[in-house]
């Protein structure tokens, strides 16, 4: 008797868990647009506080943090003119592959580097039908867009950051020497 109740309640529990995950992700996804607008002010405040003049800024974002970076670059009218962004590196990005990538590239002077992994099961289980840049190469063709395939799980990017940066060095060195 007890096993039949458990077997009947399992689909209901699974649906409740999926709905909770979907609400959590969607709330953070919505908030990424707001955080994207606030990102530039925080960076500008830090530069003023440090009293330094930067010739370029490179940005790295992982998962929803990559989404915040992309949102902030799409809303580029918010960025102060004295914050020159060179390269943007996306690690396991929870960003739709159909994003407005030309606008993102217009906001940077260097490369947009999409590090993706087909082994990323967190993005594979994302509770909507969005094709994430963190699992797929970006199909938008541009000379400053670099798709770099990795074999990592979603939680391994930060642990492997030194190795990832070393793997990306040839792309960055080639650009620096060619102009």
pLDDT digits (tens, 9 = 90+) for 82-124: 677 889 999 999 888 888 899 889 888 899 999 999 999 888 8
| Tens-place pLDDT, residues 52-68 | 666 778 889 999 889 88
Q: Per-residue confidence at 173, pLDDT binned at 50, 70, 90?
A: low
Q: Which domains does the chain have, with CATH numbers?
A: 2-178 (3.40.50)
| Tens-place pLDDT, residues 25-44 | 556 556 666 666 667 777 77
Q: d(Cα 169, Cα 87) in Å, to the nearest integer?
A: 12
Q: d(Cα 66, Cα 91) in Å, to the nearest integer?
A: 7
| pLDDT exceeds cutoff 50 at 13 | no
Q: How many CB atoms lie within 10 A of CB 66?
A: 27
102 vs 76, residue with greater confidence: 102
Residue 45: predicted pLDDT: 75
Structure tokens at 38: 């606030």
3-class secondary-structure state, position 84:
coil
Report which of 142, 146, 159, 140 is spatially closest to residue 116, judged by C-alpha positions. 146
Q: What's the pTM?
A: 0.76
Residue 125: predicted pLDDT: 79
Residue 128: predicted pLDDT: 66
């Amino acid at each position: 008797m007890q096993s039949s109740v458990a077997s009947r309640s399992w689909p209901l529990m699974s649906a409740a868990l999926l709905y909770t995950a979907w609400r959590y992700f969607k709330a953070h996804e919505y908030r990424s647009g707001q955080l994207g607008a606030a990102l530039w002010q925080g960076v500008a405040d830090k530069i003023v506080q440090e009293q330094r003049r930067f010739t370029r800024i490179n940005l790295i974002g992982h998962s929803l943090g990559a989404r915040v970076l992309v949102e902030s670059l799409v809303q580029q009218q918010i960025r102060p003119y004295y914050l020159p962004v060179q390269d943007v590196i996306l690690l396991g990005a929870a960003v739709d592959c159909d994003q407005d990538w030309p606008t993102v590239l217009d906001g940077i002077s260097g490369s947009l580097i999409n590090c993706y992994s087909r082994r990323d099961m967190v993005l594979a289980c994302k509770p909507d039908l969005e094709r994430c840049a963190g699992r797929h190469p970006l199909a938008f063709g541009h000379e400053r867009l670099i798709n770099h395939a990795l074999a990592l799980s979603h939680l391994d990017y930060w642990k492997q950051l030194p190795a990832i940066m070393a793997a990306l060095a040839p792309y960055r060195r080639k650009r620096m020497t060619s102009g």
